[in-house]
Amino acid sequence: GNSVTQMEGPVTLSEEAFLTINCTYTATGYPSLFWYVQYPGEGLQLLLKATKADDKGSNKGFEATYRKETTSFHLEKGSVQVSDSAVYFCALSVDSWGKLQFGAGTQVVVTP
Amino acid sequence: EAQVTQNPRYLITVTGKKLTVTCSQNMNHEYMSWYRQDPGLGLRQIYYSMNVEVTDKGDVPEGYKVSRKEKRNFPLILESPSPNQTSLYFCASSLKGLRQGGYEQYFGPGTRLTVT
């Protein structure tokens, strides 16, 4: 079946540090890949996505590249802020309706 | 403002007492779904609906019911809640469409349910 594996958290960083959250997947067919972010007390928001191999999704300084050869979609940001403290979910979809298969989530804590 | 609303946001109940969590969206979306979020497991889909009167099971449907009588509403019903249904629940909606990866899903703020 389809599955998503994320690095466990929490990840604690100082402001302006470099952030990487690893995400790998197993899927039949050609999935679309997503990163969702959940700020404290809120629902999930789409952060970025990529729909085919070698695509790079980017938003708010975050980037992730769809790597088919390593079945990965790692999230990166060059300089984090306290406001980036949240839980980040990697997800995939293999159907055209967009049903999402989520990873377990990674909590990121950025300290001043 | 485009949004998905859920009520209640917090609910504490006892085993066996029927409850309903409401979900409503104002974006005219065809596709709606319910997820539960549990530590270490991420979000798992409970039920989904592709349009009015069209619903189907997701990955963890046991103990839940849904209905879709109107396009904007998609209530989640727990007829006889049990402690293992203690969780954080999210409703989501998106446009209908045959597109690679589907369309962006919009999530509600969540309902934290505790069953004692």
Tens of pLDDT, residue by residue over B84-99, are 999 999 999 988 765 5
pLDDT along chain A (112 residues), means of 10: 90 97 91 92 91 93 96 97 96 78 94 96
Q: Is the pLDDT of residue B102 over 70?
A: no
Which residue among A31, A98, A104 places its CB closest to the CB of B40? Answer: A104
Side chain identity, residue B63: G
Instruction: Say how many Å lie between the first and final Cα of chain B, rounded.
Output: 36
Taking the C-alpha atoms of residue A29 and residue A8, their distance in angstroms, rounded to an integer, is: 26
Any idea of the CA torsion for A67, A70, A71, A72, to the nearest 10 degrees?
-60
Measure in Å the smallest separation between the Cα of A14 and chain B Cα atoms: 24
HSE-CB at A45 with a 13 A cutoff on CA atoms is 12
Residue in A with minimal Cα distance to B102: A98
Instruction: Say how many Å lie between the first and final Cα of chain A, rounded.
Output: 41
pLDDT for residue B97: 60
Side chain identity, residue A26: T
Q: Residue holding tokens 């549990």?
A: B38
- What are the phi and psi torsion angles at B85 (to 5°)? -95, 5
Contact B42 A96 (CB under 8 A): no
pLDDT for residue B15: 97
Contact B98 A51 (CB under 8 A): no
How far, in Å, are A88, B36, B107 from residue B12 at the CA level? 27, 16, 22
Residues of B in contact with A104 (CB under 8 A): 40-42
pLDDT for residue A99: 78
